[in-house]
A and B are shown apart, each in its own frame.
Chain A
Amino acid sequence: MGSRLTEKGYVYIVSFGALVLASILLDRWELLLLASVFMFGLFAVAYEQDEPEYSISVNVSHDRCFEGEQVLLEVSISSGSDIPLLEAHILLCDEENHVISSRQLSLSMRAGEIRNFTFRVNMPARGMFYVGDTVSRSYTRSGLKSFGDRVWPGEACLVYPRPEPIRVDWGLAARSRQHVGECPSRVPGEGLEISDIRAAMPGDPVKRVNWRATLRFGKLYVNDSTRDRNIDVVIVVDGLADVGTSPSTYLDCASRAAASIAMGFLENRDRVGIVRYAGAVDWAVPRPGRNQLYVILDRLARLYAVQSFVAPNMRLLPRSVLPPGSLVLVITPLLDDRAIDMIVGLAARGCNPMVLYVSPIPFIEDQLKDSAEDQLAKRWWGLDHKAKLKKLRALGLQVAEWDGNGSLDACLSHYFGGQGFRSAGRSPWQSASRGGWA
């Protein structure tokens, strides 16, 4: 790594030159004597030592975590020779190498000395982060020359969106599948959901006897039940546009919502898949199990808005990605008209999508001024989105409105929940989903 003069070195040169010039022009030798101090200082540069030998190693405790969690970063600096002054910047960078956070270390080390530092890094948002990238610069003893900048790579850490547990009794319109799950099907069989009471037949197990009815009518009666089966759920996340500032952008909130919904269904042993509708369509085929949760979280962690003029074609999706009769949930801010075309296309395909509309207005609320123009633009924007929602509802689609901050559980229960959860008017649940109970 090459050496270069520091700002102090340039000050020495300019001071020396100016004083010598002044002494010649003014014919005052006192100024030359004053300049001699800087001259001797500059002579020392030629005899400075080479770049000091040192190495920096970085160790990160986890290579993946959930947003808001902390990882431990251990930085070890070992010197092979005396280092008068070492300046090191420990960086936390995002996927595009923007510096999110940096801490500076300024050290003076002797030969053979090892210094260890530990940092507790708060992972602010979902995404891929590079933790512990270090840029170092060493100075010579005079401080007139520096060596650098050397870059020591850190380690990558993938931060998943944090799912919230949701307990929604979905009024499901999906077709049940063959595998055992938590959703009652329309076919009678073994299950927890009681569908009917009938007279006992030979071969009925004793555990199914309804003793209350039997005692009342004097004949054996048994309970009938419906089979518990699983369903296919496909979550489509619209990533055509993004608004807001991290970690509270639309895509951050949409990722958390998608992760929560996926976790809720996967806990019920359903099969869940995901489609990223951003630029090019990308997907994960519906599968059950814990591994599938991490597959979905992985894709959501890497979800970014892709600016493209090409409308991604949902018709190219394989049948296995969007199984017929599956429950399709589209999360969208309706910022791009291509999203509406996509929803209509899904409906035409027979998927009967449910739409979770995440309003983009709250994400830029703090950037809006109180001026009449801004308020007018906000009002116009709100009316435009209302018209879009009305258009979707006119097509017979179920649309839920969520502001990204309130309770997702309450919002989904209100709009998509079973009979016991719904309400016609503006309920406290809905108020909660808009950010508060009041």
Chain B
Amino acid sequence: MRKIDWLRWLPAFLCLLVVICVVGITPTVYVMIPAAAALALSLWGTVAANFKPFGWSSACVLTACALSLMEKRPVAWFEPALMGLGVICFLGAAQINSVYQRKDVSPDLMEGFEDKAACLEENDAQAEQPLIDSAPAVRSALAIGAQRAVAIVFAAMAFSYMFFALAGVRAKQLEEGFFMMMLGTTVIGVSIYWLIRLAAPDAYKKPHR
């Protein structure tokens, strides 16, 4: 198995996508500066295979997103949730990338093979490329990222929709406002509970609890 080189550029690519979306919506200097910084930091993190630059990069991306949301423009109800989804996907890929790209120490002293026959056979084709264990990166990336990301974004969208719905009612009387707040809190709480249960199926794998 060979290492997939393009996988290491996935976080930077996701960062680029978010940045293009944000800058495309609000092409102002205040948004473009943190967006450019985020892109540079994500490239640095990719080259250095270190999670810390990715962390700072996510801070810059969030700053750009926040500044974009604060611009005087109509904001769609799903927009903040999608921005957040982009950032958490970027962070998830960056974490997996930094784990997979950890540096070996003097790898020439320990040549690794997943196939023992290839290890014993000097002239085997695999012996010339004795790299192992990188193909599961995509599998683990999907296993880790997909379910959680979908569940989280649904929860965030529901929350956003509820907020915008409440704002649309424009309840001016105190009683109506209090009623809407109670209703909204109940709906949001139930949504969070079920969405988290959905997002965490491992919780059902505890028969004794």
Which residues of A line the B interface, CB within 8 A? 6-8, 10-12, 14-15, 18-19, 22, 26, 28-31, 33-34, 36-38, 40-41, 43-44, 46-50, 72-74, 81, 84-85, 87, 89-90, 92, 99-108, 115-122, 124, 139, 141-143
Interface residues of B in 124-158 (CB under 8 A from A): 132-134, 136-137, 139-140, 143-144, 147-148, 151-153, 155-156
Using A33-B163, A106-B100, A124-B109 as known contacts, say yes or no to A8 and B92 having CB atoms under 8 A apart: yes
* A139, B147: Cα distance in complex, Å: 15
Interface residues of B in 44-83 (CB under 8 A from A): 51-52, 55, 58-59, 62, 65-66, 69-70, 75, 80-81, 83
Question: Is B52 in contact with A7, judged by CB distance below 8 angstroms?
Answer: yes
Question: Is A122 in contact with B196, judged by CB distance below 8 angstroms?
Answer: no
**Chain A contacts of B88 at CB under 8 A?**
12, 37-38, 41
Question: Is B205 in contact with A121, judged by CB distance below 8 angstroms?
Answer: no
Most buried by B among A38, A46, A90: A38
Using A36-B160, A84-B144, A117-B133 as known contacts, say yes or no to A49 and B205 having CB atoms under 8 A apart: yes
**Chain A contacts of B59 at CB under 8 A?**
11, 14-15, 18
Using A103-B112, A107-B136, A108-B143 as known contacts, say yes or no to A48 and B202 having CB atoms under 8 A apart: yes
Q: List 8 A-B contacts (CB under 8 A).
A: A8-B92, A29-B163, A40-B151, A40-B196, A101-B105, A118-B113, A118-B116, A139-B99
Question: Is A44 in contact with B196, judged by CB distance below 8 angstroms?
Answer: yes
- Find B160's partner among A12, A15, A33, A139 (CB 8 Å cutoff): A33
A47, closest chain B residue (CB) = B200
Question: Is A36 in contact with B159, judged by CB distance below 8 angstroms?
Answer: yes
Interface residues of B in 79-107 (CB under 8 A from A): 80-81, 83-85, 87-88, 91-92, 94-96, 99-100, 102, 104-107
**Chain A contacts of B153 at CB under 8 A?**
37
**Chain B contacts of A81 at CB under 8 A?**
205
* A30, B82: Cα distance in complex, Å: 12
- Find B133's partner among A8, A92, A105 (CB 8 Å cutoff): A105
Question: Is A37 in contact with B114, judged by CB distance below 8 angstroms?
Answer: no
- Secondary structure class of chain B's binding surface, majority of residues: helix
**Chain B contacts of A18 at CB under 8 A?**
59, 62
* A6, B144: Cα distance in complex, Å: 14
Nearest Cβ in chain A — how far from B29, in angstroms? 19
B103, closest chain A residue (CB) = A104
Nearest Cβ in chain B — how far from A397, in angstroms? 41
* A101, B106: Cα distance in complex, Å: 5
Nearest Cβ in chain B — how far from A248, in angstroms? 16
Q: What interface size band does chain B fall in? A: 35 or more
Nearest Cβ in chain B — how far from A189, in angstroms? 53
B202, closest chain A residue (CB) = A49
User: Does B40 lie at the interface of the complex (its beta carbon under 8 Å from any beta carbon of A)?
Assistant: no
Most buried by B among A28, A49, A92: A49
- Find B200's partner among A12, A44, A73, A74 (CB 8 Å cutoff): A44
Nearest Cβ in chain B — how far from A123, in angstroms? 8
**Chain B contacts of A101 at CB under 8 A?**
104-107, 109-110
Nearest Cβ in chain B — how far from A84, in angstroms? 5
- Find A33's partner among B105, B113, B114, B156 (CB 8 Å cutoff): B156
User: Does B108 lie at the interface of the complex (its beta carbon under 8 Å from any beta carbon of A)?
Assistant: yes
**Chain B contacts of A22 at CB under 8 A?**
66
**Chain A contacts of B110 at CB under 8 A?**
73, 90, 92, 101-103, 119-122
Interface residues of B in 172-209 (CB under 8 A from A): 192, 195-197, 199-200, 202-203, 205-206
Most buried by A among B59, B87, B133, B206: B133
Nearest Cβ in chain A — how far from B150, in angstroms? 11
A26, closest chain B residue (CB) = B70
User: Does B36 lie at the interface of the complex (its beta carbon under 8 Å from any beta carbon of A)?
Assistant: no
